[in-house]
């Protein structure tokens, strides 16, 4: 029998009871219920004492609904708050049993589910996608032996060498403590004050000021594990390893002005690009590569392989491709998946292990603690029962239930704010401060417990010099211009000169160009703790030297108007699609009449579809339309921006007046709408740049 809609089943003693279906999330079918499973009769009106009377506290449906709404948000991440994620799989090319016993590397072609989260670092969850910033690249492997989190960035090095400095770095780069701006930007006083006082940041600063931090797409940036890890095989043999993710579509970046205009055109440009690529089946793909080496190699290098501010040049240890990562499914719910996913570098599987990299060791603690903090408060020590009864002063700030009101900008150390007339905050004291008993560690190899760094960590400039010398002249101009722009925003007079004095240890020409751009005399070089050495340039460090000459996966904007030749447009679209790209039609009006009398709905209206959205552009106009568009500011700006962003521009003869009005000068990147355009459309026209802007 059935009762109340539930099937009855008989127990072992002969009694009967209801077989109730298991509770679970609402699937869109059946009755609306409360979280306790009680069916709701009216979800539109609260319970009242009479039609005009007050609402009643006994209305548990109202109370539960409002209560849950009030608590829907959780604290955002301190860094990497703005993220985009996707599901996919990892597939090894071969067995790596010679290197590791990790199960996911044992069998060729066996797919392992993954979830990947890309993120910016400095901005909040509501900031934009395209600032100059490092990008997080975190991969969670759901293996048979448990979850392995490879939590990295799109840059292989980091600003600091020891986790002790991480809070200071983040405090310095985030919004300034007394004014809560600028958002998602490092072009301000406190970041450059800190960076100029920390020479170990120099190598990372070269990367940060390069085009690596203004990527074109999340799909066209590299990922790195940053640290040196260990791989352990079944026999117990240990190898050192660095992890690389290389995009199958190749590296792509934007130019600075283009990145700025993308912010105004689409705050969600990267998030939308990732989502739409997956939705249309153009699945993003990366190769996982390993740099594997032993202790003998490590000992022979002029740098410490456990130093997170250093790379191992690929020319010294080639990157071995071992598998592929494919993202083929968007999240079903952003909050439940992308926002709530918790990555932790301490999550590893047998066959992968840690090294003594001091930055990594700090991360092993920090990430777990971070996840807990998102559910509670970091300020429990301010409660009376927990508060110290002696003076307390440090640079820790903010958090839930903050009962102190710190004043001023000093929330990082070292700082030179006193030179700016501000209170610099407390300082360490080696004499009276707590000192750990040196004691012997568990093994003789590890030695005494000391707050020190290895000698080679003191070389802060050699690899920064390597990075600079590995760039093309165009990329070097971008780096020098980025330093000049960001330091121009610094109001503390002592900071720009101090930073330039550090740059002299990298390259005299770089320092001279930045000093000239800021109108400063070239200062004396700051003493280097360890004299830099010259390393052989590494072409692998350059974006421009590693760009793929392909249109696959890119988008070509085609500007048309009433009267555009229908046959020519059809031919152009076929050529673009044949090259693997997506044509995107832009016109002054959504409904546009072609030469054959047909009316088509274009993909975007001119005012809302700036050329910054596209990788290359084409202008296909009838003479009458061109005569009108030379008077249309949006059309002139559309062409002007494409030219200024160094994109290939294809045009028919009738469109030439619009190009002339936009100030487009002939060069190799201005082509007719034939095979030449398709051939050059994948290329950024770097040779054009010196004619368009005053680079440092």
Token reading at 363: 């991360």
Three state DSSP letters for 591-645: EEEECCCCEEECCEEHHHCCHHHCCEEEECCCHHHHHHHCCCHHHHHHHHHHHHC
For tokens 């990147």, the residue is 669
pLDDT at 10: 38
Q: What does the alpha-carbon distance between residue 293 and residue 271 come to, in Å, rounded to a whole number?
A: 36
**How many other C-beta atoms are found inside a 10 Å radius of the C-beta of residue 180?**
9
Q: What does the alpha-carbon distance between residue 144 and residue 131 come to, in Å, rounded to a whole number?
A: 38
Per-residue pLDDT tens digits for 379-395: 646 656 746 666 777 77
Using omega within 30 degrees of 0 as the cis cutoff, is the peptide bond preceding 451 cis?
no
pLDDT at 474: 96
Q: What does the alpha-carbon distance between residue 198 and residue 412 come to, in Å, rounded to a whole number?
A: 12
Nearest CA among 292, 308, 211 for reference residue 253: 211
**Is the separation of the CB atoms in 226 and 140 below 8 Å?**
no
Calculate the dihedral angle through the C-alpha atoms of 375, 380, 383, 384, rounding to the nearest 10 degrees: 150
pLDDT at 12: 40
Q: Please identify every stretch of the chain with a pLDDT value under 70, giving residue numbers as ranges.
A: 1-29, 372, 374-384, 386-390, 400-401, 432, 434-447, 449
> What DSSP string runs through 634-694?
HHHHHHHHHHHTT--EEE-GGGHHHHHHTTPPP-TTEEETTHHHHHHTTS--GGGGGGTS-
Residue 32, CA distances (Å) to 38, 463, 529 in order: 8, 62, 68
φ, ψ (nearest 5 deg) of residue 673: -85, 70
Q: What does the alpha-carbon distance between residue 214 and residue 252 come to, in Å, rounded to a whole number?
A: 9
Residue 413, CA distances (Å) to 217, 223, 409, 427, 653 in order: 35, 30, 11, 8, 61
> What DSSP string runs through 499-524?
HHHHHTTT-HHHHHHHHHHHT-PPPP
pLDDT at 27: 52
Q: What does the alpha-carbon distance between residue 268 and residue 41 come to, in Å, rounded to a whole number?
A: 40
pLDDT at 392: 73
**Could you give the maximum distance between any two Cα atoms of the chain, in Å?**
96
Residue 261 buriedness (CB in 10 A; 0-12 / 13-18 / 19+) = buried
> What DSSP string runs through 5-37?
TEEEEE-TTS-EEEEPPPP----S-S--B-TTS
381 catalytically annotated: no
SS3 state of residue 326: strand
Nearest CA among 647, 687, 689, 690 for reference residue 671: 647
| Residue of 35, 80, 87, 420 marked catalytic | 80
Domains of the chain: 83-173+214-373 (2.40.180.10), 551-691 (3.40.50.880)
* DSSP E strands, 330-428: 352-353
For tokens 């429990």, the residue is 380
**Is the separation of the CB atoms in 664 and 646 below 8 Å?**
no
Query: Taking the mean position of all CA atoms in its chain, how far away is CA 193?
Result: 23
26 catalytically annotated: no
Give strand pairing partners of 671: 650
**How many other C-beta atoms are found inside a 10 Å radius of the C-beta of residue 591?**
10
pLDDT at 441: 36
pLDDT at 403: 75
Report the chain's C-alpha Rg in angstroms: 29
| Residue of 35, 68, 153, 411 marked catalytic | 153
> In the chain, what are the helix, strand and coil shares in percent, each to the nearest 5?
30, 20, 50
Give strand pairing partners of 582: 555
**How many other C-beta atoms are found inside a 10 Å radius of the C-beta of residue 622?**
19
pLDDT at 665: 96
pLDDT at 682: 95
Buried residues in 466-485 as b, exposed as e (16+ CB within 10 A): bbbbbbeebbbbbbbbbbbb
Q: What does the alpha-carbon distance between residue 183 and residue 406 come to, in Å, rounded to a whole number?
A: 20
Exposure on the CB side of residue 56, measured as CA atoms within 13 A: 12
Residue 283 buriedness (CB in 10 A; 0-12 / 13-18 / 19+) = middle
SS3 state of residue 224: strand
Token reading at 540: 């692998």
Q: What does the alpha-carbon distance between residue 346 and residue 151 come to, in Å, rounded to a whole number?
A: 10
């Amino acid at each position: 029998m059935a009762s109340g809609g539930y099937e009855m089943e008989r127990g072992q003693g002969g009694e009967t009871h209801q077989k109730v279906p298991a509770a679970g999330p609402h699937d869109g079918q059946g009755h609306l219920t409360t979280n306790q499973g009680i069916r709701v009769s009216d979800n539109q009106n609260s319970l009242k004492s009479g039609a005009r009377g007050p609402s009643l506290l006994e209305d548990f449906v109202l109370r539960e609904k409002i209560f849950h709404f009030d608590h829907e948000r959780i604290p955002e991440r301190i860094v990497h708050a703005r993220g985009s994620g996707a599901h996919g799989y990892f597939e090894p090319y071969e067995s790596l049993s010679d290197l590791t016993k990790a199960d996911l590397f044992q069998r060729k072609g066996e797919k392992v589910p993954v979830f990947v989260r890309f993120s910016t670092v400095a901005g909040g969850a509501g900031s934009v996608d395209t600032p100059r910033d490092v990008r997080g690249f975190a991969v969670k492997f759901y293996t048979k032996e448990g979850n392995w989190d490879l939590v990295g960035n799109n840059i292989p090095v980091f600003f600091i060498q020891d986790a002790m400095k991480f809070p200071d770095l983040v405090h310095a780069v985030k919004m300034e403590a007394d004014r809560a701006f600028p958002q998602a930007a490092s072009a301000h006083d406190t970041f450059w004050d800190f960076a100029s006082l920390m020479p170990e940041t120099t190598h990372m600063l070269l990367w940060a000021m390069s085009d690596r931090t203004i990527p074109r797409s999340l799909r066209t940036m590299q990922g790195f594990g940053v640290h040196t890890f260990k791989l352990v095989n079944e026999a117990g043999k240990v190898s050192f390893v660095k992890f690389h993710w290389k995009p199958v579509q190749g590296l792509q970046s934007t130019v600075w002005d283009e990145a700025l205009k993308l912010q105004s055109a689409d705050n969600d440009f990267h998030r939308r690009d990732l989502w739409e690529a997956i939705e249309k089946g153009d699945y993003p793909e990366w190769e996982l590569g390993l740099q594997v080496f032993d202790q003998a190699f490590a000992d022979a290098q002029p740098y410490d392989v456990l130093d997170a501010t250093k790379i191992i040049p690929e020319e010294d240890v080639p990157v071995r491709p071992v598998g592929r990562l494919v993202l083929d499914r968007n999240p079903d719910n952003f909050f439940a998946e992308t926002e709530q996913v918790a990555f932790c570098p301490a999550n590893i599987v047998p066959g992968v292990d840690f090294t003594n990299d001091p930055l990594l060791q700090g991360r092993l603690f920090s990430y777990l603690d971070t996840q807990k903090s998102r559910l509670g408060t970091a300020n429990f020590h301010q409660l009376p029962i927990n508060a110290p009864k002696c003076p307390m002063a440090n640079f820790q700030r903010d958090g839930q239930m903050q009962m102190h009101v710190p004043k001023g900008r000093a929330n990082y150390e070292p700082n030179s704010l006193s030179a700016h007339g501000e209170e610099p905050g407390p300082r360490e004291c080696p004499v009276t401060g707590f000192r750990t008993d040196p004691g012997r560690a568990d093994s003789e190899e590890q030695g005494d417990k000391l707050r020190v760094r290895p000698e080679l960590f003191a070389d802060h400039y050699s690899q920064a010099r390597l990075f600079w010398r590995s760039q093309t002249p165009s990329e070097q101009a971008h780096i020098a211009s980025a330093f000049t722009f960001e330091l121009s925003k610094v109001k503390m007079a002592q900071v720009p000169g101090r930073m330039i004095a550090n740059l002299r240890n990298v390259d005299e020409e770089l320092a001279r160009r930045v000093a000239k751009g800021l109108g400063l005399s070239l200062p004396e070089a700051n003493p280097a703790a360890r004299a830099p050495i010259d390393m052989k340039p590494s072409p692998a460090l350059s974006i421009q030297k590693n760009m793929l000459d392909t249109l696959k996966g890119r988008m070509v904007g085609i500007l048309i108007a009433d009267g555009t030749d229908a046959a020519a447009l059809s031919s152009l679209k076929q050529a673009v699609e044949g090259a693997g790209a997506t044509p995107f039609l832009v016109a002054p009006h959504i409904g546009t009449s072609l030469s054959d009398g047909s009316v088509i709905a274009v993909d975007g209206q001119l005012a809302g579809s700036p050329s910054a959205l596209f990788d290359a552009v084409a202008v296909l106009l009838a003479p009458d339309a061109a005569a009108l568009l030379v008077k249309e500011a949006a059309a002139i700006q559309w062409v002007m921006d494409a030219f200024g962003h160094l994109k290939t521009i294809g045009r028919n003869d009738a469109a030439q007046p619009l190009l002339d009005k936009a100030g487009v000068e002939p060069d190799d990147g201005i082509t007719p709408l034939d095979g030449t355009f398709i051939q050059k459309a994948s290329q950024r026209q770097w040779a054009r740049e010196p004619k368009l802007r005053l680079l440092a």
